[in-house]
Amino acid sequence: MARRQWLPLVALIAAASLSLAAADDCKDAKVDSACVNFVPIPNGSEQTCAGAGGGGQATTATPVPTATATRVPSYWETRGGDYSYGSTCQDGTEIDPITTIFLTTTTSPNDSLQLAHDRLLEIGMTSDFNALWTTRQSFRDEGGCVEGEITRATNEGWHPCADLPPICVDSRWHTRCNLYSVASPYGYWLTCTPHWDEPGCPNSAGVKSHYVPSIFRGPGGFTGTGFDAGRDWTWWQLVHQYGMPDLGTVFYDNRMLHRQCNGDLTNTDGRVNVIQLR
């Protein structure tokens, strides 16, 4: 599918970045020798691997050229993190890369959160797992560690199925987001981890759970990994289909490889879209 070129940030984000110049679902940041000992989470989505961090050594993808020799972290990155994390938000507990930022100009954090829920609902993320299961991951927030407020997907998760009784899950678009506790000079913002989930990885309980593929082959013609596709699908839906303002792209360089429960090593290309919600 055609994709717009990565555009420079608009003046408001460039100004914010310059002012600073003076992301455990069986998707461990560590590369395991074998992702085993699955511990099911009653959340309708993925599973976790037993053990803290999963063991092994952190691995990064092959570097790609950047525009400058020294990357200046964006306003959003310096006040949060590059990934969702385990409960401690410590290095080594990274789970999903942040690939999308929502900026809102609402007057309160609750209004910002509601706006994000409404827009995700409009693009087909009708399942709100916060209302059904405990699925939240943790995010770095102004130096603290908090649970994200949003986890939405494009299907209802668990359901009876014929291929792997008694229950299984479908492929889907899925995202988790954290609303930041302190507003930026331009409004409140959320960092999100949209991705494409594929069914697989059955466990001993007969549950067929999810993984994020290293090569996306789902709908829409998007390319890259399941994390890249999730970012680009979200942009396409909100900006192209619904006319939300595109505020450009920042480069987080958050390309750490994550071991999936099917054995894939999956990451993102490090780009993060900034979209204004209204």
pLDDT digits 0-9 by tens, 47-87: 333 332 222 233 344 444 444 456 788 889 999 989 999 99
| pLDDT at residue number 225 | 96
CA dist., res. 128 & res. 122, Å (int) = 13
pLDDT of residue 248: 93
- Spatial separation of the C-alpha atoms in residues 195 and 213, rounded to whole Å: 9
* Residue 145 burial by Cβ neighbours in a 10 Å radius (0-12, 13-18, 19+): middle
Distance CA 57, CA 46 (A): 22
Question: Alpha helix (H) ranges present in the chain?
Answer: 11-18, 75-78, 109-122, 226-235
- The C-alpha angle with vertex 260 and arms to 254 and 262, in degrees rounded to 5, equals 155
**Count, residues in the chain:** 278
| Distance, CA of 212 to chain centre | 11
Reported as half-sphere exposure (CB side, CA atoms, 13 A), residue 128 has a value of 12
Q: Which residues contact 91 (CB under 8 A, 6 or more apart)?
A: none
The whole-angstrom separation of Cα 219 and Cα 196 is 10
pLDDT of residue 11: 38
**What is the per-residue pLDDT for 157?**
57
Mean pLDDT by 10 residues, the chain (278 residues): 42 37 37 30 32 32 48 87 93 94 93 95 85 70 92 72 58 93 91 91 66 91 96 97 94 91 89 96
The answer to whether the beta carbons of residues 212 and 201 sit under 8 Å apart is no
